Structure 1
Amino acid sequence: MRKFAIGAVLSGALAAAAVAVPSAHADTVVGDTKVSNVVVNGGKDVAVGTTNKVTFKVTFTASDPAGVTSGQTYLYHGTWSDPDAFWTQDSDAGTTCTSGTTVTCTSTYTIVPEYDLHYNALAGTWHIGAYAKAKDGDSAKKTDVGTFHVQRYSKLTVNASPEPVAKGKAITVAGKLSRANWEDHLYHGYTGQPVKLQFRKAGSSTYSTVKTVNSDSSGNLRTTVTASADGYWRYYFAGTSTTPAAKATGDYLDVK
């Protein structure tokens, strides 16, 4: 696999690929080669933590009456002419195409957060480009055929107390919403975010939202509710463009 980054986003071995810096005149089509249907990670966003390697695929359709020989994909943050980060793979090192006049090309990317992500500002919208070369020398390059999100992985905890508790008494449900920080590779509280407190009655398979609680300046969550029945309490965060959704494992509370 080969990667290249603009600026100082990647370092070490992963920044060593000899890929040309994007030009302002990016889209080029020679002949009747076409690229379309670019999909990143099966249509899902890419969430990256602090130490875990994340592998995902990028696929696209390429066509030419003479047949397609190779393909390439581009992922970049910012603009094509002046990207903050730029990842690509060539056909010999990470992109494979099926045979024929209309083919599917697939690139495999592996993100290592310690090397590939050093700035939290890189979370959010990324752009996608694709290139295909035909057997007769024709080619097509499209540099902004879609977008996806690279997100800072999130975690959510919950604890309902006291337990057991008498029916009709108050209980406190505490927790914390945190997310990956790519600059120090630790998890920190995600502040000022609306998080749903949900309850699932014992014997049921469905959670219902009881109220919404905002995380404080440290990402902590805390609220008081009335105990009415045995069941599970959890917090649920819907996510943002920079941070994926998260849900805590339900905490069972015995109500006497």
Structure 2
Amino acid sequence: MVAGGAALVFTGVVAAVPAGAAEGGVSFTRVSVNGGKPIVIGVQEEVEVHAVLRMTTKLRYDYGPTVFPYRGKTDNAETLQSSIITSDCKVVDRVNGICDFDEWLYIDPRNSDFGNEDAGTWRTAARVFLPGDAQDIDDVNLPVQVKRATRVTVDASPEPVAVGKTITVSGRVTRANWDTHTYQGYAGRTVSLQFKASGASSYKTVKTATSSATGALKTTVKAAGPGMWRWTYYGNSTSGAMSSTGDYVATQVRVLHSEVRRVLHSV
């Protein structure tokens, strides 16, 4: 394994290609970052992002290649990684210099340069370092979404409840604040209340609710049977999607007092 990102700085400035650098002679294809899914980042845990790429070149190179999210211009850009590890070449075509690579890119939200402004769409660059401090760096026309993680909680009560009676379902939706490294209430979000009946294989949306100024959620529904209740937030361009865990509510069949008296009288 090669520590291909050792010389890269977190959201720093990528050095411009030096005079006389051998730009060209390298092509990057089949690039994928995080399997095409958004990169969702919390407030404490370093995130590992898997990427793959194919490089074609007959030039000798010192180390790399690497792919990474960037903003700005490729020769003077902000980047988003704290470190990168690149695999050795997996030879596809030795004669034509074609190799496949795996890469592991790490993003640490605790870095002092990382903040809420980093959420959104980034572009992707691929680079390889050549002898004599030269490099080949290209935009690979691949947008990458970087999102703030969300959390959702749920509480359904009473437990148990009679069929047909009212259940109150509450909870809270919060979002990672990369400036303060805490989760804070996410106001004004449309969040789906979902139910999975006992024996069912999937949840179904029952209704939606809007979070309060503190991210609080609360609504009521009629109990139709036993099962799991949860809240699901589907995310947006800067915030990740998330579902709460399920809260199981058992139900009881109501027996009217008049029916009880009728049954006892007939005994």
Same fold (TM over 0.5): yes
Other-structure match for 1:172: 168
Other-structure match for 1:188: 184
Equivalent position SS for 2:110? helix
Considering only CA atoms, is the larger Rg found in Structure 1 or Structure 2? 2
Deviation at 1:68, TM superposition (A): 6.7
Matched, 1:56 2:49: yes
Letter in 2 for 1:163: E
Deviation at 1:52, TM superposition (A): 0.8
Equivalent position SS for 2:117? helix
Contact 1:73 1:89 in 2 (8 A): no
Equivalent position SS for 2:87? strand
Equivalent position SS for 1:204? coil
> CA separation in 2, counterparts of 1:49 and 1:89?
15
* Mapping 1:10-159, distance limit 5 Å: 20-22=14-16, 29-31=23-25, 33-65=26-58, 70=63, 71-77=65-71, 80=74, 83=77, 85-87=78-80, 94-98=85-89, 99=91, 100=94, 101-115=97-111, 118-132=114-128, 140-159=136-155
Letter in 2 for 1:51: Q
Deviation at 1:37, TM superposition (A): 2.0
Deviation at 1:242, TM superposition (A): 1.3
Deviation at 1:77, TM superposition (A): 3.6
Contact 1:161 1:171 in 2 (8 A): yes
How many residues of Structure 1 are paired with residues of Structure 2 in the alignment?
236
User: TM-score normalised to the size of structure 2?
Assistant: 0.77
Deviation at 1:183, TM superposition (A): 0.7
Cα gap change, 1:113/1:139 in structure 2, threshold over 3 Å: closer, same or farther?
Answer: closer
Q: Deviations over 1:25-62 (max 9, x none)?
A: xxx8524x311222112222211111111111222111
> CA separation in 2, counterparts of 1:122 and 1:206?
35
Q: Note the aligned Cα RMSD (angstroms).
A: 2.9
Cα gap change, 1:146/1:176 in structure 2, threshold over 3 Å: closer, same or farther?
Answer: same
* % identical aligned pairs: 33
Segment drifting more, 152-161 vs 126-135: 126-135
Equivalent position SS for 2:191? strand
Deviation at 1:230, TM superposition (A): 0.9
> CA separation in 1, counterparts of 2:221 and 2:81?
51
Letter in 1 for 2:35: G
Equivalent position SS for 2:143? strand
Runs of 4+ in structure 1 deviating by more than 4 angstroms, as ranges, are: 65-70, 78-83
Segment drifting more, 124-133 vs 243-252: 124-133
> CA separation in 2, counterparts of 1:52 and 1:89?
13
> CA separation in 2, counterparts of 1:220 and 1:155?
12
Deviation at 1:67, TM superposition (A): 7.3
Deviation at 1:75, TM superposition (A): 1.9
Cα gap change, 1:117/1:227 in structure 2, threshold over 3 Å: closer, same or farther?
Answer: farther
> CA separation in 2, counterparts of 1:219 and 1:179?
9
Deviation at 1:243, TM superposition (A): 1.4
Contact 1:167 1:229 in 2 (8 A): yes
Other-structure match for 1:4: 9
Cα gap change, 1:247/1:22 in structure 2, threshold over 3 Å: closer, same or farther?
Answer: farther
Deviation at 1:177, TM superposition (A): 0.7
Deviation at 1:73, TM superposition (A): 2.5
Letter in 2 for 1:64: T
Equivalent position SS for 1:216? coil
Letter in 2 for 1:111: I
Matched, 1:197 2:190: no
Letter in 1 for 2:105: Y
| Structure 2, unpaired ranges of 5+ | 253-267
Cα gap change, 1:89/1:162 in structure 2, threshold over 3 Å: closer, same or farther?
Answer: closer
